C-alpha cells in the first residue's frame, strides 16, 4: 500500500483484523426459494464476503529456500498458512457453494462458468514443472451458476455462461488449500 512521499507500508492479516473484517462484512447470498429463506434462520447460511490474493502465480506451492524471489509468499508463509486454515478457523460453517468473482478473464459482459467439473488452467509461465502438475477436483454447480445468472439478469445486467474454460491461477491458487 502506498503512503505519502513514495513510502510503502506493509499490511498484515492477523486473527484480530480478520475477525474485525468478518464482523463488519456480514453480507450473504441465499440460493433457494423465498419460502426457504423465510423458514431459515439466517445464521444457517450467512457467510462473509472475502477478497483473497493469489500471491505471485503458484507461489504458495513453492519453497523460498529454492526460489528466493518467493520469500514471504511461498508455501511456508503466513499468507499460505492463512489460506490453508481459512475455512476451518474463520468461516461460521462449511459453505455449500463458493461464488468467485475473478478479473483474470476479460469478457464483453459478465460471464458465469456453469461446468459440473472444473479443470485447472495454468496461466502462468516460467515456474517449476511441479506447479504445472497441481491437481484439484473442484466441482461446479450449474444450479448455482444459473441462479447467479438469474440474479444478474433480474437487475438488468446482461451475462453469458461458458463451460470448459478452466479455473485460472487467480481462482485455484487461493482455494486449493481450503478444499
Tell me whether residue 171 is exposed, middle or buried, using C-beta atoms within 10 angstroms of its C-beta: 0 to 12, 13 to 18, 19 or more: buried
- Strand ranges (DSSP E) for the chain? 111-113, 117-118, 138-139, 160-162
Per-residue model confidence as pLDDT tens for the chain (179 residues): 333 334 333 334 444 444 443 433 333 333 344 444 444 555 555 777 778 877 788 888 899 999 998 888 889 998 888 888 887 887 777 777 888 887 777 788 888 888 888 888 888 889 999 999 988 877 888 888 899 999 989 999 999 888 878 888 888 887 776 65
Domain that holds residue 161: 4-178
DSSP 3-state helix, strand, coil percentages of the chain (rounded to 5)? 40, 10, 55
Tell me the three state secondary structure of residue 35. Answer: helix
Do 174 and 53 meet the contact criterion of CB atoms below 8 Å apart? yes
Count of domains forming the chain: 1
* Cα–Cα distance measured from residue 73 to residue 57, given in angstroms and rounded to the nearest whole number: 10
**What's the DSSP call for residue 119?**
P
Amino acid at each position: 500500500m502506498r503512503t505519502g512521499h513514495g513510502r510503502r507500508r506493509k499490511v498484515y492479516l492477523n486473527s484480530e483484523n480478520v475477525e474485525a473484517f468478518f464482523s463488519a462484512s456480514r453480507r450473504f447470498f441465499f440460493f433457494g426459494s423465498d419460502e426457504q429463506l423465510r423458514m431459515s434462520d439466517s445464521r444457517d447460511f450467512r457467510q462473509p464476503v472475502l477478497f483473497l490474493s493469489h500471491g505471485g502465480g503458484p507461489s504458495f506451492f513453492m519453497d523460498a529456500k529454492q526460489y528466493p524471489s518467493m520469500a514471504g509468499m511461498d508455501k511456508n508463509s503466513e499468507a499460505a498458512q492463512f489460506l490453508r486454515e481459512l475455512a476451518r478457523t474463520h468461516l461460521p460453517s462449511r459453505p455449500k457453494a463458493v461464488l468467485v468473482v475473478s478479473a483474470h478473464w476479460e469478457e464483453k459482459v459478465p460471464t458465469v462458468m456453469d461446468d459440473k467439473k472444473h479443470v485447472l488452467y495454468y496461466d502462468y509461465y516460467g515456474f517449476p514443472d511441479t506447479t504445472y502438475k497441481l491437481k484439484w477436483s473442484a466441482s461446479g454447480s450449474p444450479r448455482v451458476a444459473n441462479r447467479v445468472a438469474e440474479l444478474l439478469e433480474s437487475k438488468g445486467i446482461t451475462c453469458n455462461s461458458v463451460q470448459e474454460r478452466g479455473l485460472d491461477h487467480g481462482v485455484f491458487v487461493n482455494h486449493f488449500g481450503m478444499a
